[in-house]
Amino acid sequence: MATWNTIATAAKAVLDAIPGFPTTSIRKENTVHARDTITSSLCVISFGDEQLQPGVATFGDSTDKPTISKVYGLVFSLYIVNPGNIETTLSTFPDFVLAAKQALNTATLSGASTVWNTDLVENPAWENQAFKDGVEWSEFGINFYSAEARNG
């Protein structure tokens, strides 16, 4: 059975495998504040919603204990330190955001065997925001669809 921690840990491993990707941490909430000192780029994975997927039939047949589909939402917040000239390293921030989205928005998730689909959740208001001097911020969500034991 997948759990929040299983899915978040598997997602962290995917991001950690991206060459040059910022340090990734898992937190209950995205607790980075503008008053915090951020000296290096980071990605914070925080917990969103857990829901039963409405209107989905159970998996399996009558001979085994069927499973139901649950949706686990995770929020990914990237804070990229970029204190240099606004005309340098133009591609770094968008490249990290795109690499993260592409790596996680897949049909399965290595390390979380019950995940069978994902959904990317985006909002233009969450993209490329100034967080504080020298730090750019972007956020997106991924809903992970998991086949769970009926009473799990």
Give SS3 for 104.
Answer: helix
Domains and CATH numbers, the chain: 4-149 (3.30.2000.10)
Per the prediction, the chain carries an average pLDDT of: 77
Q: Is the pLDDT of residue 90 over 70?
A: no
For the segment 48-89, what is each residue's pLDDT rounded down to a tens digit?
Answer: 765 655 545 455 555 555 677 788 889 998 888 776 655 655
The pLDDT value recorded for residue 55 is 47
Segment 100-120 shows an average pLDDT of 89
138: CB partners within 8 A, 6+ apart:
77, 78, 80, 93, 97, 126, 127, 128, 129
